[in-house]
Amino acid sequence: MSETQAHEGVGARLPRQEGVGARLPRKEDDRLMRGRGQFIADIRMTGMQDVAFVRSPLAHARIRGIHVPDDLKDRVFTAADLDGVKPIRAVSGLPGFKVSEQPVLATGKVRQVGELIAMCVADTRAEAEDMAARVELDLEELPALHDMLEARKPGAPLVHEHWGDNVFLESLVNINIEAAFDAPVKVSRTISTARQCMAPIEGRGAVIHFDHRCDQLVVHTASQMPHIVRSGLSECLQMEEGQIRIISPDVGGGFGYKAILLAEEVCLGWLAQKLRRPVRWLEDRREHLTANANCREHHYEITLYAERDGTLRGIDCEASVDSGAYSAYPFSACLEAAQVASILPGPYDFPAYRCRTWSVATNKCPILPYRGVARTGVCFALEVALDALAAELGLPPEVVRLKNLVRPEQMPFDNITNKHFDSGDYPQALHRALDAIKADTVRARQTAGERDGRRIGLGLSIYCEQAAHGTSVYSGWGIPMVPGHEQAGARLTPDGGLELRIGAHSHGQGLETTLAQVACEILGIPVARTRLVHGDTAMTPYSTGSWGSRVMVMAGGAVATACTELAERVRRIGAHMLQARLDEVRLENGRVVGPAGDVTISQVAHTWYRRPQDLPADVDPHGLEVTAGYKPQRDSGTFSYAAHAVVVAVDPELGEVEILDYVIVEDGGTLVNPMVVDGQILGGLAQGIGTALYEEMPFDTSGQPLASTLADYLLPGAPEVPLPFIDHMATPSPYTAFGVKGIGEGGAIAPPAAIANAINDALRPVGAEMLRAPVTPRRIVESVLKARANRRSAA
């Protein structure tokens, strides 16, 4: 019997009000919405010291000297003081990968603005900043690389001299591209996405002290992956893993930024031992924007080959990713570009493909994986190019997509890059989106024109999200972290409550509720009586953590497996208590039911823990605590997907864009809690709108980041984010417990493409085409004016 069937078999007999599929309000919101969460900045410790860093003001410079005033010598530390601390190394096993070592405090050179040079310790952050202001740097400025395309050119200045060039990794996939060259239609575009910042409400931060009783460095840090941070810290600090305990309390949004080992954490780990006092660093928004949380910057030269009816003959692409100065731990500097090559084909079936990628080193912050990782850029490039193809062919954009989307009868489907699509009906998602947005009505309105001079546009995009991909996928990339089996612990308390333990972390996903729902589905224990223990390496099983939309599939599967085993043990004790044979009793609604009566799980737990004298001598000794491991039947990932459709009104004179309607038809397989899924989609949509229209970290030619506050780095606010219509399809994954699929990132993947396509649809009669995200008012006006000038000179 497959695991899926096993879980469904148990679940089918249980009430569903709180189990899998219930729209349950999130338990954690009670504390979070009342301001009673416990975040890093809420932690107070006796004698705690605050840290401020001296950061590089230049993007690229040789360090000639660091002058610390004499009166600060015992409170300011530089690389020379950090005995026994190793640089951060995040190496990829992909052939040809060039290794960067990131010193936790700069040595020799600085390679990005904001790079750490010295740390200053004081009673308060303000005093530490006063000290930092007094440290004088003697820097010899070097030519800086602010543009990845320039950095790729021969003769460019070098970020890491010994490499000889500025390319972390170059890759090439070629699947018979030559066969496409005789296609009757060829459309090429240059498409790019800006460098962004992730901007969770809570920045990074750490409070670290040494606990002599436990002989452990206790690291409170806002992290999505406590166990991985422990491995990284142990490597850099050269301590045994057992000597380090990571505690990640409430985390105010992660999005990938908190899945990275920061140099700041390593520095504080050393400092806490040096000073023998608790030390704290709280990232401020300027550090966040200018020195740390960068992501997304992609550049594509993409060519589509097609038949006149829209059938794709091949896709040829050159993609560059601005990886920044260093390889970030654990995902490395080439995760994005390596993903680009393998996921660019999206949900389309076509015969020829070539993709060359470059992970380029520049004098900017390391690029970090942000919700959707490479998918947002890939979806933007391919879906925007597909609309250009449709326009070239004179076909509606949906026609070109429907010609090429993988069809339900092909499932499971291995695509051109060997991605294994587990299930789904992509054409149906697109049809439902077109119906829901009332495409015909919108197009009629578009033809009629607007009285206020604005132009209406309809945009579509569709993507697939490979989630919870495991060993077989990550071992190929050879990065410091490869996920294997996921473990979960389940323990009944003596009064019949349930404790679940997982090594991944919840930072907005609602796991305290949804994993309790999974347990309830199997054990019938109310969600209110189930507690999730997580975010602490001392109390949880090992896990690579929360990333890649993996937790509901992996930890959910592990919880289900542990609870199924626990259910069996409960049944055995229950059978003793009912004096029935094991095959005569079943677990139902939190009770063990036999032929002549029943006992509750609470009574079973009470008996096991408090009245063992009532149990026979040959009772199963394993008790009511289980740790179980889980992997889906295939670990190549679940494939959730969605079709987005959006209507915009574009003001061609001022470039203002208003979103009039937004529809999302998504298929996340079996939804454990549809309300939580909706929440994930809404948050992702807000971020996708940011990518599409607002968010950009500009740099000047000397590599200076130009947005150091949220007045310059624009995030969409509530008025800029419409409430979308969300329609769920639910094609279960054949490989996972309950048929769930990972859905955490999808909301942020499709909006930039859909919105840009809508804007382009609106502006097509004007002759303007927007190929660069974010599509800002200025870029729109610029393109419109250029198109007008071209038409004038052509006339």
Partner 1 sequence: MKPAPFRMERPRDIAGATALLATGGDGAKAMAGSQSLGPMLNLRLATPELIVDLTGIDALRTVREEPGHVVYGALITHADVEDGRVPDVGAHILRRVAGGIAYRAVRNRGTLGGSLAHADPAADWVNALSALGAEVEIAGPDGTRRLAIGAFLTGALSTALAAGEILVAVQVPKVPASARFGYVKHCRKVGEFAHAIGAVLVDPEAGSCRALMGAIDAPPLLFPDAARLFGGHIDAGFAARFDATAADAALTAAGMDDAVDRHVHVEVLRRAAVQAATLFTETRSAA
Residues at the site binding partner 1, with contacts judged by CB under 8 A: 124-126, 129-130, 133, 284-286, 653-656, 693-694, 708-709, 711, 714, 716-717, 719-720, 776-778, 781-782, 785
**Beta-carbon contacts of residue 51 (< 8 Å; ≥ 6 apart):** 119, 120, 121, 125, 128, 264, 267, 268, 271, 279, 280, 281
DSSP state of 214: T
Using only C-alpha atoms, the chain has a radius of gyration, in whole angstroms, of 28
Q: What is the largest CA-CA distance in the chain?
A: 99
**Of 214 and 706, which CB lies nearer to partner 1 in the complex structure?**
706
What are the residues facing 55 on neighbouring strands?
Answer: 116
Tell me how far, at minimum, the Cβ of 755 lies from partner 1, in Å: 14
Tell me how far, at minimum, the Cβ of 404 lies from partner 1, in Å.
Answer: 35
One-letter amino acid for residue 50 of the chain: D
Distance between CA 129 and CA 86 in Å, rounded? 26
Residue number with CB closer to partner 1 (463 or 694): 694
* Distance, CA of 306 to CA of 536 (rounded, Å): 53
**CB 42 to partner 1: min, Å:** 19
User: Which residue number, 347 or 690, has a Cβ lying nearer to partner 1?
Assistant: 690
Nearer to partner 1, 694 or 738 (CB): 694
The answer to whether 133 and 73 have CB atoms below 8 angstroms apart is no
Residues 6+ apart with CB under 8 A from 708: 286, 289, 290
Q: Which helix (H) or strand (E) holds 533?
A: strand 530-533
Looking at residue 694, the DSSP 8-state letter turns out to be I
Query: CB of 481: closest distance to partner 1 in angstroms?
Result: 33
Measured from the CB atom, is 92 or 708 closer to partner 1?
A: 708
489 beta partners? 501, 627
Of 71 and 495, nearer to partner 1 (C-beta) is 71
Q: Where are the alpha helices (DSSP H) in 1-50?
A: 3-11, 29-33
Sequence-ordered alpha helix ranges (H) in 503-550: 511-523
- Least CB distance to partner 1 at residue 719 (A): 4
Whole-angstrom distance, CA of residue 240 vs CA of residue 234: 6
Phi-psi region of 453 (alpha: psi -120 to 50; beta: other; left: phi over 0): left
- Min separation Cβ 777 and partner 1, Å: 6
Phi and psi angles of residue 525, each rounded to the nearest 5 degrees, phi first:
-85, 130
Q: How far is the CB of 775 from partner 1 (least distance, A)?
A: 11
Which run of H or E residues covers position 403? Answer: helix 397-404
The least distance separating partner 1 from the CB of residue 658, rounded to whole angstroms, comes to 11
Q: How far is the CB of 78 from partner 1 (least distance, A)?
A: 22
User: For residues 126 and 214, which CB has a smaller minimum distance to partner 1 in the complex?
Assistant: 126
Taking the least distance from each CB to partner 1, the nearer of 301 and 656 is 656
Could you tell me whether strands 196-197 and 420-421 are parallel, antiparallel, or unpaired per DSSP bridges?
unpaired
Q: How far is the CB of 170 from partner 1 (least distance, A)?
A: 37
CB of 561 to partner 1, least distance (A): 47
Q: Smallest gap, in angstroms, from Cβ of residue 790 to partner 1?
A: 14
Tokens of 95: 């052939």
Nearest to 207 by CA among 216, 215, 196, 218: 218
Nearer to partner 1, 499 or 720 (CB): 720
Strand (E) positions, 113-184? 116-122, 136-141, 167-175
Residue with smaller CB distance to partner 1, 548 or 652: 652
Nearer to partner 1, 55 or 534 (CB): 55
- Specify the residue, 288 or 529, whose C-beta has the smaller distance to partner 1: 288
Alpha-carbon distance of 742 to 744, in angstroms, equals 6
Nearer to partner 1, 582 or 654 (CB): 654
CB of 788 to partner 1, least distance (A): 10
Among residues 110, 62, 108, the alpha carbon closest in space to that of 364 is found at 110
Q: Least distance (Å) from partner 1 to the CB of residue 716? A: 7
Which tokens hold the place of 65?
């000297």
3-state helix, strand, coil in the chain (%, to 5): 35, 25, 40
Of 125 and 420, CB closest to partner 1: 125
Looking at the DSSP bridge assignments, the partners of residue 499 are: 491, 531
Shortest CB 265 distance to partner 1, Å:
20
Query: What is the residue-wise DSSP string for 30-98?
Result: HHHHTT----GGG---TT-EEEEEEE-SSSSEEEEEEE--GGGTTTEEEGGG-TT-PPEE----STTPP
Q: Cβ closer to partner 1: 661 or 720?
A: 720
Q: Which of 235, 231, 237, 221 shows the shortest CA–CA distance to 273?
A: 237
Task: With beta carbons less than 8 A apart as the criterion, state whether 659 and 647 touch.
Answer: yes
User: Among residues 244, 239, 172, which one has the least CA distance to residue 208?
Assistant: 244
